Chains A and B, each alone.
Chain A
Amino acid sequence: MTLNGWLQILVYCAVMLLLTKPMGVFMAKVFSRERTWLDPVMRPIEKTLYKLTCVDEHREMRWTEYSIATLLFSAVSMLGLYLLERTQQWLPLNPQKFPAIPQDLAFNTAASFTSNTNWQFYSGEQVMSYLTQMAGLAFHNFVSAAAGMALAVAFIRGIARREKETIGNFWVDMTRAIFWVLLPLSLVAALVLVSQGVIQNFRPYDTARLIQPQLVQRVGQDGKPVFDASGKQVMDTITEQTIAQGPIASQEAIKELGTNGGGFLNSNSSHPFENPTPFSNFVEMVLIFLIPAGLTFTLGRMTGSQKHGWAVFAAMAVLFLVGITTTYWAEARGNPLLKGADETHTALQPGGNMEGKEVRFGIADSALFATITTDASCGAVNGMHDSYTPLGGMVLLVNIMLGEVVFGGVGAGLYGILIFVVLSVFIAGLMVGRTPEYLGKKIESYDVKMAMLYILIFPLMILLLAAASSLLPQGLATLNNHGPHGLSEILYAFTSATGNNGSAFAGLGANRWYNLAMAFAMLAGRFLMIVPMLAVAGNLARKKVVPPSPGTFPVTTPLFTALLVSVIIIVGALTFFPVLSLGPILEHLFMNSGRTF
């Protein structure tokens, strides 16, 4: 670890801290339908949209209607994406003449982008037309993020309102999220990224002649090396390189801002066309946390307890700092097995474990990006998580396992951590001898029941599907690594899917089983969870508010933050400890004793 590395991390933290309040205030205004400086431009568009879609913007919804609206909207837009993928060969903006996406992959991708996961079992530049990328994938990048924000705001209203049946209007919340927050910010961010060299065009791909021809293994359909009759690997000589093009900058901004993470190009933000400079890297990292961090302030503002908003922010920040410290330490330490290799940091080399990392980012910025993207359910990557040291990789895995609540996905992170808050308050209330209250709302068995349902979906999907994959021949067929590392790869895939993260430990090939099982995990991880979540919101909105007294446990203090962090760790991590000990922990111990996988 270097001073320079820590400085970059601290500058990032400082910038995030500074941006939280203005973002939070702005979003609180947007969702409370107060006047903002964007109104003159956006209000007419908004009104026209409502007129066209027959939405009464003053009509509010009960939690049940809100859930149905979310689910229906997502189902319809998912179907739209699926059809677009299946018919792209007949549609315009396809200069590379890509054929239709196969059924199961199209389904997986539709589920992936609708659920804000953006898991990609494909290489964008090799299968998706420009139209599919823009009208299909980028559209979902906006609406799935907007839906997440709408859900979070609905939950905040549930806490803030007293004796009300409704928690807002899904259509209005979503429209305002897109036109007031996502679109303007994406526009500015895209321009900043273009200034750094991110490309934006509709050209067919460039072809470049290699100065030095390359000899590479031929890889078959199953993703494994091809052997000839005599058992020798088949090698191909490559003399040309295809350089993908496309409208990348416009997608890049929303990819980060909406914590989507689905790259235009397969190598995502490690590709120079997506993330060319350390500054673009910094901008992308800021974009990822911008809305999730801001929403904590929105929470404080809308519930009238700004300190509570900061307490939640603090809990997220603590978990983030522990994560980045561990990852940075693990990666900067390097690989103990590389005896004789110089892994020290010098002016000429970054040192540490540079496998799978970009030289222009180095250890600190790679570790920081990886921590942020796994904390925030973004899934964009600027390096290969698979190549991290076992402990470094475990932190990324655990970040997702905690439930994507360390800032988390836009909206999803906030409502996720608020479910943990409900549980923390329940336990704290018992310990101080009083029926628990959360900002004056009594937490009763219905709330606990729904919160537990929400929480259980996570281990249920991850553990059951990963366990099945580790036994089924289909699950093992496309696994390229064995031993604990192979287990980590399977585990990471389902954790990423259920957590709607979308980043991957590579090494796991797509097949029918994974396409379908992962699609299932992604849909469950988003849509099964929002129903109990909204049920809690609706139930809270109905309750009376008990005025706080010294006997009420305050949800604004460092003690509350500490309790919240413990509950997140205990409920989130404890169930995964056994499998983690067979995966990354075992791998780490093996590495220290001289074995790798």
Chain B
Amino acid sequence: MPGKEAKQKSLWDGRIIRSALIDSLLKLNPRKMLRNPVMFVVEIGSVVTSVLLIRNLLRGSGAFGFDLQVTLWLWFTVFFANFAEAMAEGRGKAQAETLRRAKSETMARRVLPNGRIETVPGSRLRVDDVVMVAAGEVIPGDGDIIEGVASVDESAITGESAPVIRESGGDRSAVTGGTRVLSDEITIKITSNPGETFLDRMIALVEGAERQKTPNEIALNILLAGLTIAFLLAVVTLQPFAVYSGSPQTVFVLVSLLVCLIPTTIGGLLSAIGIAGMDRLVQHNVLAMSGRAVEAAGDVDTLLLDKTGTITLGNRQAAEFIAAPGISNDQLADAAQLSSLPDETPEGRSIVVLAKEKYGFRGRELSAHEAQFVPFTAQTRMSGVNFDGRVIRKGAADAIERYLKENNGILPCEVRATVERIARSGGTPLVVAENNRALGVVYLKDIVKGGMRERFAQLRAMGIRTVMITGDNPLTAAAIAREAGVDDFLAQATPRDKMDLIKKEQSQGKLVAMTGDGTNDAPALAQADVGVAMNTGTQAAKEAGNMIDLDSNPTKLLEIVEIGKQLLMTRGSLTTFSIANDVAKYFAIIPAMFAATFPVLKALNIMRLATPQSAVLSAVIFNALIIITLIPLALRGVQYKAMSAEALLRRNLFLYGVGGVIVPFIGIKIVDVIVRALGMA
């Protein structure tokens, strides 16, 4: 992923920080704050103390120095929370800026129904318009190629500098507005109106303009709001109890206690965590169409992985020629190479290469001998060449057997045995026949990508089942599944089988993720809970999925799952941390509040904070600073390790629960020492 490094911005990029600082001020708007109930309460508290501060100043009452500091730190608390959100958004905004540059106004050559061509601005194109784009021109809008083939530079979107081939018909026909044609000329049918193009959607997504709260975020927000109400009750009713006890409190102290108790740490960082999760996906060159999809990715129970390209390297390689009895290996290699010369598929090329390297057959120019190529069709399931009276065919064993039968030949049982042996070991046997005689078998080998076994084992530890989808026969599929370490496989899979499998899994309450690129994948992509469409795929596939992988790398599904889990874990860990912090804050503030009236309560001041004022102030300062301190964690996400839920929970409970109890005791004490040293209270 060459584009990846370029996009990974430093966490503390100067430009982002500057604009985030301004945004955090704008976000103080109470209407915007209402989205976040916890921080809204803090803002109300800050307003109340500010008003009282001014009133006290005019009246000359109150402890101005202390009250002022409390008020300022309360505002800082709100500001820091806004800053966290602005920082998270800032990174997306910076990327949107880059994308906007690709969106510069282009002129389009529109083909009118009468065949005439007129030049119009790209923004005037509508769905079903047809345009011509030549080499060097920018494609004016999303569309499907209806004629021609061209190499296209998509770096504006994917960050990938190598051009890709786009051609009419098939699964490589979609082009994206804003990309540039490098060679040839193509005719495109526009598929989206201006403002709704892929680039527009992408900009909106990375900017977070369309961000809606995800279900899990809503649930957490309810929990936090509930806790806030509970603590609001505790603090509001504390004043009557204090009055009863003959020790009434100032509003400044009460608001301080409230702000310290309500879960400001997670409240302040919650939306930043969500935005950062989306942003992490973008850094992996994946666009999630909704935050919901990211969350669903964390919940996935079953991964449907296409064998080719995901588990194995994209293509099979010829590894061996195994001749039939009475046929020499040279004969077989020669025929195999001849039949593969016009075959542009990677498999075909690998046969040519193997024949050359192992048996010294050089590639020959066939046209000179008036050769006739027989391309692969779904009906015959064979390809081959007719040349100098030789009829050479290669294909799957059953196809060749049928072909031989038609020509009064037979498939020798030795060959059949070889075929079975290869299939069982996970390879693909390709039988080569000349006229009505089977020459032997080409052993095409699937190469399983490195490290896949370990990753599947990790997924299994997390409770995720992997299912390999392949068009291969069950025997071959089983062998590769065994080699790669997947839990299950679906052999000879049709798009319908895939769809049925998804539905079956979902009916058991499982969440399913899959990748796909072809138009026939579209229904399955739409049905899956997480459908990752490849950017190279068809428009239909891209619209059906809820994520698009710009690198078109199906293996990335694994990373997407990890990012989804990490997002939830970051939320959970910081929530635990935030609530656990309250214990220390009680021990700081409660004795400070009442020690003047009841000196015996000093026994609760176990941190030995210097004075009641310094104790309250230290708690408030700690509470504000912890938000800033945790911004990097919120943006990066908590460290993710593949382990069972039980082990993961034990680890996170220890780190963020027990840690959350201990850290503030130390933190508040340190702040208190500094506050005293600076003479602040």
Cβ of B409 within 8 Å of any chain A Cβ, yes or no, is no
Cβ of B94 within 8 Å of any chain A Cβ, yes or no, is no
Q: A550-B461, A551-B645, A575-B230 are in contact. Are A582 and B564 (CB under 8 A)?
A: no
Which residue of the partner chain, among A455, A563, A579, contacts B238 with CB atoms under 8 Å?
A579
For residue B460, which residues in chain A have a CB less than 8 angstroms away from its CB? 550
Query: Chain B: how many interface residues by the 8 Å CB criterion?
Result: 75
Chain B residues 454-497 with CB under 8 Å of chain A are 460-465
Q: Are A578 and B235 in contact (CB under 8 A)?
A: yes
Cβ of B295 within 8 Å of any chain A Cβ, yes or no, is yes
State A544–B653 Cα separation when bound (angstroms).
29
Cβ of B385 within 8 Å of any chain A Cβ, yes or no, is no
Q: Are A578 and B241 in contact (CB under 8 A)?
A: yes
Chain B residues 232-281 with CB under 8 Å of chain A are 233-245, 257, 261
State A211–B568 Cα separation when bound (angstroms).
76
Cβ of B301 within 8 Å of any chain A Cβ, yes or no, is yes
What is the interface of chain B mostly: helix, strand, loop, or mixed?
A: helix
Q: Are A551 and B464 in contact (CB under 8 A)?
A: yes
Task: Identify the stretch in A218-226, A292-300, A463-471 within 8 Å (CB) of chain B at 4 or more residues.
Answer: A463-471
Cβ of B569 within 8 Å of any chain A Cβ, yes or no, is yes
Closest to A553 in B: B645
Q: Are A585 and B604 in contact (CB under 8 A)?
A: yes
Task: Identify the stretch in B218-226, B282-290, B538-546 within 8 Å (CB) of chain A at 4 or more residues.
Answer: B218-226
Closest to A455 in B: B226
Q: A575-B231, A582-B245, A582-B594 are in contact. Are A445 and B222 (CB under 8 A)?
A: yes
Closest to A557 in B: B646
State A518–B509 Cα separation when bound (angstroms).
46
Q: A426-B219, A431-B652, A432-B569 are in contact. Are A452 and B226 (CB under 8 A)?
A: yes
For residue A42, which residues in chain B have a CB less than 8 angstroms away from its CB? none
For residue A430, which residues in chain B have a CB less than 8 angstroms away from its CB? 216, 220, 568-569, 571-573, 575
Q: Are B237 and A467 in contact (CB under 8 A)?
A: yes
Q: A444-B215, A546-B509 are in contact. Are A551 and B644 (CB under 8 A)?
A: yes
Chain A: minimal CB distance from B349 (Å):
42
Cβ of A484 within 8 Å of any chain B Cβ, yes or no, is yes
Q: Are B233 and A463 in contact (CB under 8 A)?
A: yes
Cβ of A123 within 8 Å of any chain B Cβ, yes or no, is no
Q: A433-B568, A433-B648 are in contact. Are A427 and B465 (CB under 8 A)?
A: no
Which residue of the partner chain, among B237, B295, B567, contacts A464 with CB atoms under 8 Å?
B237
Which residue of the partner chain, among B225, B230, B298, B566, contacts A459 with CB atoms under 8 Å?
B230
Chain A: minimal CB distance from B571 (Å):
5
Cβ of B166 within 8 Å of any chain A Cβ, yes or no, is no
Which residue of the partner chain, among B229, B464, B649, contacts A559 with CB atoms under 8 Å?
B649
Cβ of B565 within 8 Å of any chain A Cβ, yes or no, is yes
State A19–B569 Cα separation when bound (angstroms).
40
Cβ of A55 within 8 Å of any chain B Cβ, yes or no, is no
Q: Are A428 and B649 in contact (CB under 8 A)?
A: yes
Q: Are A470 and B601 in contact (CB under 8 A)?
A: no
For residue A582, which residues in chain B have a CB less than 8 angstroms away from its CB? 238, 241-242, 244-245, 594
Q: A435-B216, A586-B601 are in contact. Are A429 and B245 (CB under 8 A)?
A: no
For residue A445, which residues in chain B have a CB less than 8 angstroms away from its CB? 215-216, 218-219, 222
Q: A487-B241, A563-B653 are in contact. Are A452 and B222 (CB under 8 A)?
A: yes
For residue B57, which residues in chain A have a CB less than 8 angstroms away from its CB? none
Closest to A566 in B: B657
Q: Are A456 and B230 in contact (CB under 8 A)?
A: yes
Which residue of the partner chain, among B222, B231, B510, B580, contacts A448 with CB atoms under 8 Å?
B222
Q: Are A487 and B245 in contact (CB under 8 A)?
A: yes
Cβ of B576 within 8 Å of any chain A Cβ, yes or no, is yes
Closest to A486 in B: B244
State A551–B239 Cα separation when bound (angstroms).
46
Cβ of A477 within 8 Å of any chain B Cβ, yes or no, is no
Q: A444-B215, A467-B237, A581-B604 are in contact. Are A552 and B463 (CB under 8 A)?
A: yes
Closest to B590 in A: A581
Chain B: minimal CB distance from A187 (Å):
43
Closest to B246 in A: A483
For residue A191, which residues in chain B have a CB less than 8 angstroms away from its CB? none
Chain A: minimal CB distance from B456 (Å):
13
State A578–B249 Cα separation when bound (angstroms).
13
Cβ of B600 within 8 Å of any chain A Cβ, yes or no, is yes
Chain A residues 435-485 with CB under 8 Å of chain B are 435, 440, 443-445, 447-449, 452-453, 455-456, 459-460, 463-464, 466-468, 470-471, 483-484
For residue B215, which residues in chain A have a CB less than 8 angstroms away from its CB? 435, 444-445
Q: A456-B226, A470-B240, A546-B509 are in contact. Are A433 and B604 (CB under 8 A)?
A: no
Q: Mark B182-199, 1 if CB is under 8 A from A, else 0.
A: 000000000000000000
Q: Are B603 and A589 in contact (CB under 8 A)?
A: yes
Cβ of A18 within 8 Å of any chain B Cβ, yes or no, is no
Cβ of A590 within 8 Å of any chain B Cβ, yes or no, is yes
Closest to B604 in A: A581
Cβ of A545 within 8 Å of any chain B Cβ, yes or no, is yes
Q: Mark B291-315, 1 if CB is under 8 A from A, else 0.
A: 0000100110100000000000000
For residue B567, which residues in chain A have a CB less than 8 angstroms away from its CB? 433
Chain A: minimal CB distance from B567 (Å):
8
For residue B590, which residues in chain A have a CB less than 8 angstroms away from its CB? 577-578, 581
Q: A544-B509, A546-B301, A550-B645 are in contact. Are A432 and B241 (CB under 8 A)?
A: no
State A3–B566 Cα separation when bound (angstroms).
51
For residue A571, which residues in chain B have a CB less than 8 angstroms away from its CB? 227, 230
Chain A: minimal CB distance from B345 (Å):
39
State A593–B599 Cα separation when bound (angstroms).
11
State A550–B645 Cα separation when bound (angstroms).
6
Q: Are A547 and B509 in contact (CB under 8 A)?
A: yes
Cβ of A50 within 8 Å of any chain B Cβ, yes or no, is no
Cβ of B359 within 8 Å of any chain A Cβ, yes or no, is no
For residue B640, which residues in chain A have a CB less than 8 angstroms away from its CB? 433
Chain A residues 554-591 with CB under 8 Å of chain B are 554, 557, 559, 563, 566, 570-571, 574-579, 581-582, 585-586, 589-590
State A435–B217 Cα separation when bound (angstroms).
10
Chain B: minimal CB distance from A413 (Å):
21
Cβ of B579 within 8 Å of any chain A Cβ, yes or no, is yes
State A443–B646 Cα separation when bound (angstroms).
18
Q: Are B462 and A550 in contact (CB under 8 A)?
A: yes
Q: Are B301 and A549 in contact (CB under 8 A)?
A: yes
Q: Are A432 and B223 in contact (CB under 8 A)?
A: no
Q: A434-B645, A444-B219, A467-B241 are in contact. Are A581 and B594 (CB under 8 A)?
A: yes
Listed by A's residue number, 13 A-B pairs whose Cβ atoms lie within 8 Å are A432-B565, A432-B652, A433-B565, A434-B298, A434-B568, A550-B645, A553-B646, A557-B646, A563-B653, A570-B580, A576-B234, A577-B586, A578-B235
Known: A433-B567, A546-B509. 6 other contacts (CB 8 A): A431-B652, A433-B572, A435-B295, A483-B245, A559-B649, A589-B598
Chain A to chain B: the 3 pairs with minimum beta-carbon distance, closest first: A551-B463, A430-B572, A433-B565
Which A residues are closer than 8 A to B by beta carbons? 423, 426-435, 440, 443-445, 447-449, 452-453, 455-456, 459-460, 463-464, 466-468, 470-471, 483-484, 486-487, 544-547, 549-554, 557, 559, 563, 566, 570-571, 574-579, 581-582, 585-586, 589-590, 592-593
